[in-house]
């Protein structure tokens, strides 16, 4: 083989390998995460849930505990997990580093690396209560869990955060005027310092549904559902917002900046829309739920950012995977699920294709009740056109590599 021919062959081989690697890296995974709540008495076994999420190509899950059955069921699936320390444990962990270490040794260490635990949330919406002891215990508990992860050699793999209601904001509009409640400043300021020091995100549970439900006459439905609307302009920044969720996210960024932090990211740990509600819960319908979650998923698939942070893709965990029949409160609380406990979707949605359509999301990325079901063979056999195309091209590339190596 001549030198020039060999060089040409090596160059082609390099380009071919590069394209093959790129194709393998272009995942069909959905970019949104899902909240997997279990306040119900009729949910399927976690092993079946693992199959459902794999059929959907969802690879990010958030729990409200550290259920060992779930963590074992998802071993070697590649699914990333956020697990949780319950509010009831905060005071104990704040007072006892040994308790935090024991919790991590029991609920995190045994499952890594088979199960990809990437974050521990310490407490959930602690500032929505009037329990000042719990509020005061939050940051010390977070620090104790963080230290325990470090002591056990897991600090580089697992971050520590806490999920907060968007109601920690005193002002959310215009977004540039976002500010935390004054009565919470003494707690939130050091928590932001902790996030800045550890590189962990600030988690927010945000539900535009609540704003619409409280004032349907004044809040635009298309604005909260990500549907076409004139939008709202922030007079201070001249930025235009076409949906409420993005405005809420940017309000959090503004509130953090007012406390001296531009080094902390914002992740939406919960958002969703109920498909059913009580008579006075305006807007809780199947159509609105499908529109909200479908439109949001499409934006996530496009790696869209907010007007303030256009180059930072929104990071969202949809609430929730299942309808949970034992949740207290109004009917809407039991009807946020994308799925019924039997595995069939509550409604069809278009989740968007992103870099590849989800295998269980049906043609065009739609979540179709007749295409995806946990208990049907179709969910096991369904393969998206994108999946097939990528594999065929990859096979051809590998054949080309073999020919080049033999020449």
The pair phi, psi for residue 268, each rounded to 5°, is -85, 105
Residue 119 CB partners (closer than 8 Å, separation 6+)? 81, 82, 83, 158, 159, 160, 161, 200
Q: What region, left, alpha or beta, does residue 133 occupy, with left being phi > 0 and alpha being psi -120 to 50 degrees?
A: alpha
Based on its alpha-carbon atoms, the radius of gyration of the chain, rounded to whole angstroms, reads: 23
Residue 394 CB partners (closer than 8 Å, separation 6+)? 20, 23, 24
C-alpha 255/C-alpha 168 separation (Å) is 10
C-alpha 254/C-alpha 364 separation (Å) is 37
| Structure tokens, 399 | 């054949």
The answer to whether residue 279 is catalytic is no
C-alpha 134/C-alpha 340 separation (Å) is 34
Instruction: Give the three-class secondary structure for 178.
Output: coil
From 44, 135, 120, 132, select the one nearest 81 (Cα to Cα): 120
C-alpha 64/C-alpha 193 separation (Å) is 25
Question: Is residue 48 exposed (0-12), middle (13-18) or buried (19+ Cβ within 10 Å)?
Answer: middle
E strand or H helix at 271, and its extent?
strand 266-271
Catalytic-labelled residue, pool 270, 279, 281, 333: 270
**What is the CA 316 to chain-centroid distance, rounded?**
4
Catalytic-labelled residue, pool 125, 227, 281, 324: 125
The answer to whether residue 182 is catalytic is no
The strand ranges marked E within 206-253 are: 232-233, 240-241
Annotated active-site positions, please?
125, 270
């Amino acid at each position: 083989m001549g030198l020039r021919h060999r060089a040409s062959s090596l160059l082609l081989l390099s380009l071919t390998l590069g394209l093959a690697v790129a194709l393998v890296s272009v995942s069909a995974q959905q970019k949104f995460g899902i909240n997997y709540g279990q306040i119900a008495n009729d949910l399927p076994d976690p092993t079946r849930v693992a199959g459902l999420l794999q059929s959907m190509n969802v690879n990010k899950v958030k729990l409200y505990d550290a259920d060992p059955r779930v963590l074992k069921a998802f071993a070697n699936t590649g699914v990333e997990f956020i697990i949780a320390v319950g509010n009831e444990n905060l005071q104990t962990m704040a007072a006892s580093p040994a308790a935090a270490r024991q919790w991590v040794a029991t609920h995190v260490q045994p499952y890594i690396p088979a199960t990809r635990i990437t974050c521990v949330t310490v407490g959930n919406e602690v500032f929505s209560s009037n329990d000042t002891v719990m509020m005061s215990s939050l940051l010390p508990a977070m620090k104790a869990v963080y230290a325990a992860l470090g002591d056990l050699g897991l600090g580089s793999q697992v971050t520590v955060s806490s999920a907060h209601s968007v109601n920690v904001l005193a002002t959310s509009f215009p977004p540039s005027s976002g500010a935390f409640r004054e009565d919470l400043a003494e707690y939130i300021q050091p928590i932001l310092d902790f996030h800045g020091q550890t590189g962990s995100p600030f988690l927010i549970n945000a539900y535009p549904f609540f704003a619409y439900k409280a004032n349907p006459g004044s809040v635009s439905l298309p604005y909260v559902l990500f549907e076409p609307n004139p939008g709202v302009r922030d007079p201070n920044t001249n930025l235009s917002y076409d949906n409420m969720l993005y405005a809420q996210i940017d309000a959090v960024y503004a509130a953090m900046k007012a406390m001296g932090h531009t080094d902390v990211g914002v992740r939406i740990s919960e958002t969703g829309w109920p498909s059913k509600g009580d008579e006075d819960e305006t807007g809780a319908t199947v159509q609105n739920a499908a529109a909200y979650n479908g439109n949001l998923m499409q934006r996530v698939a496009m790696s869209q950012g907010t007007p303030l942070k256009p180059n930072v893709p929104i990071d969202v965990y949809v609430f929730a995977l299942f309808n949970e029949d034992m949740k207290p409160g109004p009917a809407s609380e039991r009807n946020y699920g994308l799925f019924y406990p039997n595995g069939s979707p509550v409604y069809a949605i278009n989740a968007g294709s992103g870099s590849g359509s989800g295998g269980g999301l049906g043609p065009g990325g739609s979540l179709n009740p007749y295409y995806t079901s946990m208990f049907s063979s179709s969910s096991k056999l369904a393969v998206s056109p994108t999946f097939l195309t990528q594999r065929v091209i990859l096979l051809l590339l590998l054949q080309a590599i073999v020919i080049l190596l033999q020449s």
